Structure 1
């Protein structure tokens, strides 16, 4: 009788493990498809930016400048899906710096762009690829569109803007190629699950760094350390980060949220999902972090956002990991 009960218990355990593995395999496929879809949006947005920049160079009008700026903002927010995840395709990760050079504490982008314009050369996407990554991506385009739009009325400036926009298309195409294969497919389901959680926690740490750099110490903010300070869209970008992390956490009903609920951790799942909802519902109206740093109320709002992110971070590390049996290693921002 005891042998029969033990056998039945082992069968039940193995069945449960098989079901868990199947769920985790479904998660891996869903997460991969999320990235494929996101890179498609990024590549399409890069083409739209190139088109608007070409139109702007043909007719330098306020409306055409506004259209290029709008296209840049769409592309920037599409990039927020990938920013800071540090997991997945190695080829994709290698493209990160040429797509966005940040942090840029010493304004390398501005100095390198000035140097390019000072040279007697007509820049192309191909020749730009041999230059610093600081002039190949989103920051370089922001420098032209927002800080130096007057340079777009000159042939040199327009040629450089078109080269940067075309280089972004090339980067988007390379990103799409890198994400064709599922980087987690050959892993064990548990290892893939660890990579999934790692991608989320790495991106969360990176987003928190985006807050703490410009916040500095109380009474001594550093607004020029904010991402996209030239376009005054730092908070819009950060919100896109949070939305991307929420989407990654839920993974269309097959992600960490669903896995926690399947393990009976409903209260934990509710708390994390509720924290994401609360963060987004209370998001400041200002698109600029610099504007918030100028007032006490604005600074407090940033502290509140940081605390909300930190709550999710601790929950993922201290509660989700043990609940799902995931071993958490060091992440990309440890030691900073």
Structure 2
């Protein structure tokens, strides 16, 4: 599989977004401030966190490979957790620099329902492919062997304990190189947002000669789309697939980051990112009194979803035990209800109040 192959996620969650047929006058809806707040208060700081945590992961991996032991392996594994949380916070932003050069997929090749990525990683380990321990040559390979899922398997998967014993120097170097590749892509993404002509500048300064956003409405639509697609991906592509229709028919191993025990933490980080982005919009300041009540409902629904995920996570550290228990399965199934409610509120009530509309989405069904 070549690196140009993106996972089906990018196809399934495609959105059609356009102006509402009867939009509110642009000067009565100060969307430019909402967009700027989202960028400055949430998006840029979260990308900065991704760069910082990926650099920390590189340092931890370097120390482990230089002098392998169980303590350093533990530190490397511990460094993986904040990296996953930082990525999950920027996971909604699949547009702009994340779309170019398959950067999103280079960080997170998922879903991989047929396990092709895992087989490729295992093949590299079996062959001790030297091109996987050089960052530039690794980045020429399939996107599936150079991102977070690959690094998780290298640190937590079958036979990963051999690294601590010094029995698998190649696996350690491959993991270190993967961390370096993640750090490199993370910096590219941050630079893509911060550049003088980057996506942040284009979102902040819509104009007729702007190649992406002509109006503040179009810029706001991009962020609204990002929120909606993340909630749908979390509720439907992650949880619905993993849960099935009953605990005994669930498939918890389809959840990303199940090996590291971070599956539900990552979902919580997804929801937290959405909540913080919506909060940065300061909807009460730009909506009338009636619609402000809907904004309050958004906050309530997101907290309800997060609470359900938190309760499920507290049941057992093993995600398989959680999903296959009746209580855990019920809590996670319930969490999908408020997620879908937020999607509806954003797509209909809030979008209409802002003079926007979110069109057909492949995840919406018939």
Q: TM-score normalized by structure 2?
A: 0.80
Match of 1:60, SS state, is coil
Match of 1:81, SS state, is helix
Question: Could you tell me how far apart the structure 2 residues matched to 1:206 and 1:36 are?
Answer: 22
State whether structure 2 residue 145 is matched by structure 1 residue 145: no
* 1:234 equivalent in structure 2: 263
State whether structure 2 residue 50 is matched by structure 1 residue 36: no
Q: TM-score normalized by structure 1?
A: 0.87
Question: Could you tell me how far apart the structure 1 residues matched to 2:44 and 2:333 are?
Answer: 34
2:221 to 194, 198, 210: 194
* 1:265 equivalent in structure 2: 291
State whether structure 2 residue 90 is matched by structure 1 residue 62: no
Tell me the CA shift for residue 109 of structure 1.
Answer: 2.7
2:256 touches 2:263 (CA, 8 Å); kept in 1? yes
The superposition leaves residues 3-41 of structure 1 with CA deviations (integer Å, 9 ceiling, x where unpaired) of xxxxxxxxxxxxx85252xx2111121222222211111
Tell me the CA shift for residue 110 of structure 1.
Answer: 2.2
State whether structure 2 residue 302 is matched by structure 1 residue 276: yes
* 1:134 equivalent in structure 2: 144
* 1:18 equivalent in structure 2: 27
Question: Could you tell me how far apart the structure 2 residues matched to 1:28 and 1:100 are?
Answer: 26
State whether structure 2 residue 343 is matched by structure 1 residue 313: yes
Question: Could you tell me how far apart the structure 1 residues matched to 2:98 and 2:332 are?
Answer: 33
What root-mean-square deviation, in Å, do the aligned CA atoms of Structure 1 and Structure 2 show?
2.3
The superposition leaves residues 218-256 of structure 1 with CA deviations (integer Å, 9 ceiling, x where unpaired) of 2411122111121121111000001000001111xx344
Question: Could you tell me how far apart the structure 1 residues matched to 2:317 and 2:37 are?
Answer: 31
In the alignment, structure 2 segments of 5+ residues that lack a partner are 1-24, 207-212
Question: Could you tell me how far apart the structure 2 residues matched to 1:311 and 1:317 are?
Answer: 10
1:223 to 252, 268, 293: 252
Question: Could you tell me how far apart the structure 2 residues matched to 1:92 and 1:32 are?
Answer: 19
In the alignment, structure 1 segments of 5+ residues that lack a partner are 1-15
- Using CA pairs under 8 Å that are at least 6 residues apart, name the structure with larger relative contact order, 1 or 2: 2
* 1:4 equivalent in structure 2: none
1:210 to 238, 254, 269: 238
Tell me the CA shift for residue 89 of structure 1.
Answer: 4.1
Moved more, 70-79 or 31-40: 31-40
Tell me the CA shift for residue 99 of structure 1.
Answer: 0.3
* 2:103 equivalent in structure 1: 95
Question: Could you tell me how far apart the structure 2 residues matched to 1:258 and 1:225 are?
Answer: 41
- The 1:307/1:58 distance shift into structure 2, 3 A limit, reads same
2:147 touches 2:178 (CA, 8 Å); kept in 1? yes
Match of 1:229, SS state, is coil
Match of 1:230, SS state, is coil
Match of 1:105, SS state, is coil
The superposition leaves residues 251-275 of structure 1 with CA deviations (integer Å, 9 ceiling, x where unpaired) of 1xx3445433x46412211111112
Match of 2:258, SS state, is coil
* 1:13 equivalent in structure 2: none
Larger gyration radius, structure 1 or structure 2: 1
Tell me the CA shift for residue 149 of structure 1.
Answer: 1.6
The superposition leaves residues 174-216 of structure 1 with CA deviations (integer Å, 9 ceiling, x where unpaired) of 1112112214232301112222211110111111121111112
- The 1:92/1:257 distance shift into structure 2, 3 A limit, reads farther
Tell me the CA shift for residue 331 of structure 1.
Answer: 4.2
Tell me the CA shift for residue 93 of structure 1.
Answer: 8.1
State whether structure 2 residue 193 is matched by structure 1 residue 172: no
Match of 1:328, SS state, is strand
* 1:11 equivalent in structure 2: none
Question: Could you tell me how far apart the structure 2 residues matched to 1:92 and 1:80 are?
Answer: 19
Question: Could you tell me how far apart the structure 2 residues matched to 1:271 and 1:103 are?
Answer: 31
1:77 touches 1:237 (CA, 8 Å); kept in 2? yes
